[in-house]
């Protein structure tokens, strides 16, 4: 069975640490040029939803690992005219060496993995965004380490996610945070409580639930090390826009929250941001913000995820 990366917990915590080491090495040596981990391979990068960062970072990253990246929109494939996921996946399995997918239901990436026989990377579903959460934990190690970044440096840090606590980013960050012993607090409206989805994800992964939920943004921000937010209207939720903005408006990340957070706290956002909604312009552009380091790290961390996964699959094939 070929391994894929469909959920944050598809790597063990020990493996995730090795992925971080590799990402740091890739970051430090990028200027040395293309490496040949994926030499002569063709990788598909398939989008059912819009993207800027994921598209750029995977296309550049796969190229830098030696592969030929083939970026596709589902609108341009026969899938948009009714061809099944199963058949599309089987066809891709005959041409490609790996696949990166951004789509709606988690079941779609699972089907692609099952029917293509390829290693599949989840580049965002309605349920999870594990490439982003790994990148965010990695970025924290850079800011909280003295010297060489280490995963130990984020152990016990208080990480607060504000707003839509029932979205892909909230779920992925709660899972990845637990893997790295980060104290994750989810802070949002009662209507967007993360249970029962998060309880199910933790149970399936055999992981002890360590996250907590509160509806009080000031209480959540007290002595926090990271204040994180994401859009209030995720892709596919556009019909609920007006209602979501109204319900989530008490959860905007602004200077009042940083007043009670730790002095050296970070502001993080997966982007794209909507200044004036989930975050104030001052915070977005302010001294706590590390949003562009986060965005850049998508490249290094995803290169590490892909090559680590491919390495594991090659090791299994040799046995």
Q: Which residues of the shown chain bind ligand CP in the complex (CB under 6 A)?
A: 51-54, 124, 132, 270-272
We find the least distance from the C-beta atom of residue 37 to ligand NVA, in angstroms, to be 26
We find the least distance from the C-beta atom of residue 60 to ligand NVA, in angstroms, to be 18
If the CB atoms of residues 49 and 97 are measured against ligand NVA, the closer one turns out to be: 49
* Six token digits for residue 295: 């965005």
Site string for ligand NVA, 54-83 (x = CB under 6 A): ------------------------------
Q: Of 101, 26, 107, 22, whose CA–CA distance to 61 is shortest?
A: 26
Q: What order do you get walking across the sheet with 226-229 strand by strand? A: 212-214, 183-187, 158-162, 226-229, 266-269
Determine which residue in the list 235, 245, 260, 262 makes contact with ligand NVA, applying CB under 6 A: 235
We find the least distance from the C-beta atom of residue 135 to ligand CP, in angstroms, to be 9
Is 234 among the residues that bind ligand NVA (CB under 6 A)?
yes
> Which of ligand NVA, ligand CP, none sits in contact with 221, Cβ below 5 to 8 A by type?
none
Characterize the bridge pairing of strands 226-229 and 158-162.
parallel
CB atoms inside a 10 Å sphere around CB 209: 15
Q: Is the peptide bond before 196 cis (omega within 30 degrees of 0)?
A: yes
> Which of ligand NVA, ligand CP, none sits in contact with 52, Cβ below 5 to 8 A by type?
ligand CP
DSSP string, 187-228: E--GGG--TTHHHHHHHHTT-----EEES-HHHHHTT-SEEE
Determine which residue in the list 169, 186, 299, 301 makes contact with ligand NVA, applying CB under 6 A: 169
Q: Which residue is nearest to ligand CP (CB)?
A: 54
If the CB atoms of residues 37 and 227 are measured against ligand NVA, the closer one turns out to be: 227
Strand partners, 68: 42
Q: Is 121 helix (H, G, I), strand (E, B) or coil?
A: strand
Q: Of 34, 124, 93, whose CA–CA distance to 307 is shortest?
A: 34
Q: Which stretches of the chain bind ligand NVA, using CB under 6 A? A: 124, 129, 167-169, 230-231, 234-235, 270
């Amino acid at each position: 069975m070929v391994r894929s990366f469909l959920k944050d917990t598809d790597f063990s915590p020990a493996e995730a640490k090795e992925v971080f080491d590799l990402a740091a090495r890739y970051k430090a040596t990028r200027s040395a040029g293309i490496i040949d981990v994926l030499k002569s391979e063709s990788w598909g990068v398939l989008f059912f939803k819009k993207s800027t960062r994921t598209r750029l970072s995977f296309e550049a990253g796969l190229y830098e690992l030696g592969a030929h990246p083939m970026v596709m929109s589902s609108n341009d494939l026969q899938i948009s005219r009714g061809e099944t996921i199963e058949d599309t996946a089987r066809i891709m399995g005959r041409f490609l060496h790996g696949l990166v997918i951004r789509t709606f239901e988690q079941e779609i990436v699972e089907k692609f993995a099952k029917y293509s026989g390829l290693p599949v990377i989840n580049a965002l579903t309605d349920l999870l965004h594990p490439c982003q959460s790994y990148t965010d934990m990695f970025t924290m190690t850079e800011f909280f380490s003295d010297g060489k970044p280490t995963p130990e440096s984020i152990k016990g840090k208080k990480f607060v996610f504000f707003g839509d606590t029932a979205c892909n980013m909230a779920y992925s960050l709660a899972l990845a945070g637990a893997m790295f012993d980060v104290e994750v607090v989810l802070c949002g409206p009662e209507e967007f409580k993360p249970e029962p989805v998060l309880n199910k994800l933790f149970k399936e992964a055999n992981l002890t639930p360590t996250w907590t939920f509160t509806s009080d943004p000031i209480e959540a921000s007290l002595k926090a090390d990271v204040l994180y937010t994401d859009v209030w209207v995720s892709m596919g939720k556009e019909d609920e826009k007006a209602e979501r903005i109204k319900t989530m408006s008490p959860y905007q990340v602004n200077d009042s929250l940083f007043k009670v957070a730790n002095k050296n706290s970070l502001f993080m956002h997966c982007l794209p941001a909507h200044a004036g909604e989930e975050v104030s312009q001052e915070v977005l552009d302010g001294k706590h913000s590390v949003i562009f380091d986060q965005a850049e790290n998508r490249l290094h961390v995803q290169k590490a995820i892909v090559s680590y996964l491919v390495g594991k699959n090659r090791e299994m094939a040799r046995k």
